[in-house]
Amino acid sequence: MRIIDLSKEHEELYFVCLEDWSEEMKEAGDHKCNWYNKIKDKGLRVKLAIDDNGSIGGMIQYVPIEYSEAEGENIYFIKCIWVHGHKEGIGNYQGKGMGAALLKAAEADAKSLGAKGIAAWGLAIPVWMRASWYKNHGYKKIDKDSIKHLVWKPFYDDAIPPKWIKRSKKPATNINPGKVTITAFSSGWCQVENIVYERARKAAEEFGDKVVFNSIDTFNKDTLLEWGISNGLFIEDVELSMGPPVPYDKIVKVIAKKLRKISKG
């Protein structure tokens, strides 16, 4: 196994999170490609793990913390680390040490770039991006937002701990009388959230002028700070969980329920 930097030849595979076999990934549109083009010259780092047969089984992407959902000083932030774990495509590559190798390479790279530490997000529940996995690699929990923990590893004693950007407000309701308003927050970096965004947009179109689709681009840091929401989906006062990708039918049902409530007055 070896770790390499992302090159032009592997960009398309990176854009679909190594899941070029997935029909679901095709729903995500070009959001991640657009995000990549905006941030690639602002410090984005991407590394890939390749097995001895030349198959890419894992990836890690990290950015200067000012381009993340956290606040900090002279720290890199891991957007995600993913080792292919599906039966489809190249098969399950988890449990072979790729994740640990990618994390070690990212830490060394961030330190060589002058960072004083590296941070990441992890979930408190035993699913993808587990906070406990980072803990096993020397990371400490420094902040939390519900089940989403902020963990970090300082490289030097004078490193300043990061913190989450807290949610400051949520979308207003009933702003379009007689209609249902969908508010979709998107920065574009995560394909799971891009899938949900596109499903919501498609659902809004299905209902025609009865639904207003409001898109908020949170790649802009001022917009992110204004809301404290990086990625999210609101149908009036209902916030839908982004991951795993909320099914299209569920989005349609929530919209229809809200429209029935409006029609009853």
For range 116-142, the mean pLDDT: 92
Where helices occur in the chain by DSSP H, the ranges are 11-15, 31-39, 98-112, 131-135, 191-206, 221-227, 248-263
Residue 178: count of CB within 10 angstroms of its CB: 10
pLDDT bin (cut points 50, 70, 90) of residue 244 is confident
d(CA 205, CA 181): 12
Q: Are 262 and 180 in contact (CB under 8 A)?
A: yes
pTM: 0.94
Reference 100, options 75, 134, 149; nearest CA is 134
pLDDT bin (cut points 50, 70, 90) of residue 241 is confident
| pLDDT for position 242 | 81
pLDDT bin (cut points 50, 70, 90) of residue 265 is low
For the segment 40-67, what is each residue's pLDDT rounded down to a tens digit?
A: 999 999 999 999 999 999 999 999 999 9
pLDDT bin (cut points 50, 70, 90) of residue 92 is very high
Residue type for position 91: G
> What mean pLDDT value characterizes the chain?
95
Asked whether the CA dihedral 22, 25, 29, 34 is positive or negative, the reply is negative
What one-character DSSP code corresponds to residue 109?
Answer: H
- Beta-carbon contacts of 117 under 8 Å, excluding residues fewer than 6 positions away, are 72, 74, 75, 76, 110, 152, 153, 154, 155, 156, 159, 162
Which of 62-66, 164-168, 246-250, 261-265 shows the lowest mean pLDDT across its residues? 261-265
d(CA 233, CA 100): 32
d(CA 142, CA 151): 6
> What domains does the chain contain, in order, with CATH numbers?
2-164 (3.40.630.30), 180-263 (3.40.30.10)
Residue 170 has pLDDT above 70, yes or no: yes
